[in-house]
Chain A
């Protein structure tokens, strides 16, 4: 199944010329051209806006003024927007908050999910089906925003970082995905370890985990990207502006036009507001870009296909 969905096939480097089966009629040049143009336009629609945002964030005040806003043609380049927002202040703190929540959250999510997936990977164990059923139901019926909010509020988690981690900590979907993978491991190996006296903790940590690196990486990345991108839960649960994560800050600066604090002193026009705004966008985007190649690598491995199919 990975024939078409493999992103970068390293086993056949550079030899991949166009291979047309013998029976297939050659493509009419017009049709092939149209096809190429359509795909090219689609890719450009994604790449060009990203390029413009990146370029503007690195542009000087003079370049931005000359362009009348967003910059398409590179002019004078400067790091000053980044220097300004990363030299302490609101954005720096928001980055720290987001990094912390993403790191701690992903760790907790992964540990809880791996344990649950392993604990559910042996059909016929005690209360196996009732537990599956208990978890599965939550995929069909969400309780709703208001009761969830009131619950978090009654637990005293408003303005606590835990409110950004615990309610969204596990995804039943991810647990089932992992469980499916664990069940695919050759049970006879695990059984022999069990006969030799290894307990479940040992089997999980010494045998199952090393065999499941790819699925754990992918699910970890998914959890991580989820925590990093989360925006709504913070608008719900966090009122203290000191504790707001980056996505919320991004919203208020770029979408709601709140001026970036620390900008006040820079009325001198050295750093363009627009460049600062775009720099915040880029900072919110870069971690995803960094992990993206790893995600890409595993999308082919069939893990994802199963995930999307459900």
Chain B
């Protein structure tokens, strides 16, 4: 996406007589002014969104400067002493930071294997269901949890799997020792993944259903005529049709590797402990907001932010290499 600057003369254009050139720039300027006058209502309409974006998205980018300072909230922003990369050195030497990185990447990898394929399988299963009424009922049910907040989802899990939850009621009734799965670091990986599945796997099938319904049914018919069985048709028609969207989503997820459900983790970090449940975002939260080590936390956040951008760019490059459209394209 390149920004076209209309004022710049085209390179390679023959050098013009200065008088004519001056005339031309003058004409262009006048044209721009006329354009501005014509579109000023449109610009006025965009203005509130621009102001909000500038204030809440761009100003904080500049605010990352405190990562290079020894920031204290009691001194003005630019009066804090500059310390260069000292905060970054501290972050990179911190075992807790690397533990958070490891946890983040472990959760991402685990969910790539155990979450990512589930919506695809659900969509294919559902596609084979011929009764539209049952299908729509199923969709209504599985989309719903996506719209519940993380606080609600985890509260519900707590009541089922927690120390006083349903599972333990059952275990105790049968004389088996109770386990509180909501505070177990060992099984935490499975817990967060099942919560993510419960909340969002159903919602995830939408894109795949759309891709499936875009398949021309005559392809299936022709394949069946030529003697391809159900399994063959799945392999040679259904899966190739899903390929672009699978690759796109996979790459998006890879680009987002350093982000795992922040609210979900934050809500459970205290119960499970930092050893298993500290991820990069919660690390930034605890070291900055809770402990008041502002510059340190900002440095950790900035490391995450920059690597994330690189990952998105890299993932997009990868998409192009695969011959897919990618997330964005140069125009």
Contact = CB atoms under 8 A, between A and B. Distances in A.
Interface of A: 1-9, 12, 16-21, 23-25, 27, 35-36, 38-39, 42-43, 45-47, 49-50, 52-53, 56, 67-70, 72, 112-113, 115-116, 118-120, 122, 125-127, 129-131, 133-136, 138, 140-151, 153-154, 166-167, 169-170, 172, 175, 199-201, 204, 225, 228-232, 236, 247-248, 250-251, 254-255, 277-278, 281, 284-285, 288-289, 292, 295-296, 299, 304-305, 308-310
User: Size band of the B side of the interface?
Assistant: 35 or more
Sort A-B residue pairs by CB-CB distance and give the 10 closest, nearest first: A147-B63, A143-B60, A229-B149, A119-B45, A116-B49, A147-B60, A144-B301, A119-B46, A115-B45, A4-B213
Contacts of A154: 77
A68 B297 CA distance: 44
A287 to B, nearest CB: 10
Give the interface SS of chain A, mostly helix, strand, loop or mixed.
helix
B172 interface: yes
B188 interface: no
B210 A5 contact: yes
A172 B267 contact: no
B49 A112 contact: yes
Given A18-B131, A23-B225, A255-B151, A133 B301 contact: no
B241 interface: no
Given A118-B45, A231-B151, A236-B289, 12 more contacts: A1-B213, A4-B212, A16-B132, A116-B45, A144-B64, A144-B298, A145-B284, A151-B56, A151-B60, A170-B49, A204-B45, A305-B206
Interface string B50-72: 10110111111111101000000
Contacts of B217: 21
A304 B263 contact: no
A97 to B, nearest CB: 15
A6 B136 contact: yes
Given A4-B127, A133-B1, A284-B151, A144 B284 contact: yes
A43 B263 contact: no
Given A166-B52, A166-B56, A133 B3 contact: yes
A190 B59 CA distance: 37
A296 B327 contact: no
Nearest to A118: B45
Given A255-B267, A299-B206, A70 B165 contact: yes
Nearest to B156: A49
Contacts of A1: 210, 213-214
20 contacts: A1-B210, A4-B210, A4-B213, A5-B210, A16-B131, A25-B229, A45-B198, A49-B156, A53-B156, A68-B172, A112-B48, A119-B42, A119-B43, A143-B57, A143-B305, A146-B297, A147-B298, A150-B66, A151-B63, A285-B152
B21 interface: no
B302 A144 contact: yes
B105 interface: no
A255 B305 contact: no
Contact of B289 (A23, A145, A201): A145
Contacts of A299: 143, 206
A204 B266 CA distance: 42
A9 B131 CA distance: 12
A130 B5 CA distance: 9
B136 A19 contact: no
Contacts of A284: 149, 151-152
Interface stretch (B11-19, B22-30, B31-39): B31-39
A74 B330 CA distance: 60
Contacts of A149: 288-289
B184 interface: no
A198 to B, nearest CB: 11
A68 B166 CA distance: 9
A287 B139 CA distance: 20
Nearest to B44: A119
B159 A52 contact: yes
Contacts of B150: 229, 231
B159 A278 contact: yes
A284 B155 CA distance: 11
Of A134, A136, A289, the most chain B CB neighbours within 10 A belong to A134
B144 A292 contact: yes
B158 interface: yes
A39 B125 contact: yes
A116 B38 CA distance: 17
Nearest to A281: B155
B288 A145 contact: yes
A62 B85 CA distance: 63
B166 A70 contact: yes
Nearest to A168: B56
Contacts of A305: 206-207, 210
B126 interface: yes
A56 B155 CA distance: 13
Contacts of B40: 126
B242 interface: no
A97 B182 CA distance: 30
A43 B213 CA distance: 22
Contacts of A250: 151-152, 155
B158 A292 contact: no
Contacts of B224: 23-25
